[in-house]
Structure 1
Amino acid sequence: MSESTEQAQTTESLWREFRQEPFPDSLRHATFGGTDAWLLELDIAGCVLRWLDNSGPLDSKYSVLLQSRIEDLDRVIPEIDDPAGTQYCRRLQQLAVLASRNLSSTK
């Protein structure tokens, strides 16, 4: 199996799991360094969906946005008190990192 095929399968599997998981109550009104937690999720989810729909790399606009949101999560995750919120954000971060890799995928 090629690296790009494995990346696509892993991302699709994590995306399905992520979509079934509710947004944690502890993050609903949380703001970290001026960034709302729900906005991090919205931006990352949009980029991951674009990556999945296009079966491959993001254009530069979305790559920059996604990299910025990965950096935001790097700062945010240590600040989260709730284990469910931490787990949710770690999965979101994992999806973001997978979609940020510049590999083309095949379905």
Structure 2
Amino acid sequence: MDAAEDPVAMVACLREEHRNEPWNPRWNDLEVAGVDLVSLDTRLEGCAYTWVANDGSLHEQGMATVRLILNQLEKVLPELAEDDNPQVWHRLQRMAQLIVVHNIRPTEASS
């Protein structure tokens, strides 16, 4: 299965593209539609890293964070100007969508 068919590989690839994207210093203080873009980026990065490291599995608290970020992106994207590099934020949206759709719930540890 190649990256085009494997959601974990797709998220890993999108994450790598995102990490290689130059950070626009303008984003450091940018709030769009009431959303702090630095916080959004940082939270999704952590969730995506964990999801990929766990082979497509994220616990419910992490999934709640990803769903919140996805909702925030839906508010942010229409408000972005061209100099806000909307393609960067669309990439994050795609990562969040893949995680939400393809998450494998972790098995509960037995006591």
1:14-50 deviation line (CA, Å, top 9, x unaligned): 1111110022234221112332111000111111001
Supply the distance in 2 between the matched residues of 1:45 and 1:101 (Cα, whole angstroms). 17
Identity percentage of aligned residues: 25
- Stretches of structure 2 that go unaligned for 5 or more consecutive residues are 105-111
Q: Name the structure 1 match of 2:9.
A: 9
Higher relative contact order (CA 8 A, sep 6+): 1
RMSD of aligned C-alpha atoms?
2.1
Larger Rg: 2
Supply the distance in 1 between the matched residues of 2:74 and 2:83 (Cα, whole angstroms). 16
Supply the distance in 2 between the matched residues of 1:103 and 1:63 (Cα, whole angstroms). 8
Residue 97 (structure 2) pairs with residue 100 (structure 1): no
Aligned length: 103
Please list, as runs of the form range in 1=range in 2, the aligned pairs for 1:1-107 lying within 5 A after superposition.
Answer: 1=1, 6-83=6-83, 85-104=85-104
Q: Is contact 2:32–2:76 with CA below 8 Å preserved after alignment?
A: yes
CA drift at 1:12: 1.4
Supply the distance in 2 between the matched residues of 1:88 and 1:24 (Cα, whole angstroms). 10
TM-score (norm 1): 0.83
Supply the distance in 1 between the matched residues of 2:102 and 2:88 (Cα, whole angstroms). 24
Supply the distance in 1 between the matched residues of 2:78 and 2:6 (Cα, whole angstroms). 29
Q: Is contact 1:77–1:86 with CA below 8 Å preserved after alignment?
A: yes
